[in-house]
Structure 1
Amino acid sequence: MGWLTRDIERAPCTVEISHRFESLHAHLRFNNGAVIWPGDEVQVKGPEIMAPFGEIVTEDREAIIVRASKLERLWTRLTGDFEVMELCEFSFSEEVTL
């Protein structure tokens, strides 16, 4: 991998979508042990997965991993903390604002 080049990998994966009262989540597990690093992009191939309320849906898919170049990875590490701080500016509450 060079300073400006990006590599592309294909990886088998398992997608789990939960639409239950106890847990609303979407998880992706790479079945070949692939690891995602800062700046990498992942696209899961196939149609949208919808889980009916109260259920968990699990499907095997293929993921396309676009690896960040060394320069992109460095930039992501340097600026990542600032982006996380933007998330800290928001909060969730039960109060309704009009």
Structure 2
Amino acid sequence: MNGPLAWLTGGRTVEVPCTVDIEQTFDSLHAHAIPEGVTLRPGDRVVVHGAPAGIPYGQAVSFTCRATVYRAGWLQRVWTEASAILELADLYHCGFEPRETP
């Protein structure tokens, strides 16, 4: 939806180059996808095209491919930020409860 209400409901997409870094070694197991030329905001989704599903153990690779960024609308950004704050508050609540004594 790229109409006049796209700022509110989202639906805009952006095609950008993306740097993908994958490592599966004794020291590290990670995969990072970094879209270039775009600032990600809360609620945005990124789909990377052409990235391998995995690499053999002991290897680290880095390459460039394409990514599609699905922009969140204002409502989704607000909802994402609010739910993140509530989730964080829930972690604080669990971490500081007094220990029960028998």
**Pairwise TM-score range, normalised by the shorter structure:** 0.7 to 0.9
1:1-98 equivalences under 5 Å are: 1-31=6-36, 33-46=37-50, 48-84=52-88
Q: Kindly, what percent of the aligned residue pairs are identical? A: 34
Please provide the CA RMSD for this pair: 2.2
**Given that residues 20 and 51 in structure 2 are in contact (C-alpha distance below 8 angstroms), is that contact kept between their aligned partners in structure 1?**
no
Q: Whose Rg is larger?
A: 2
Structure 1 stretches lacking a partner, 5+ long: 90-98
CA distance in 1, matches of 2:59, 2:76: 38
2:24 maps to a residue whose letter is H
Q: When the two structures are aligned, how many residues end up with a matched partner?
A: 88
Q: CA offset at residue 47 of structure 1?
A: 5.0
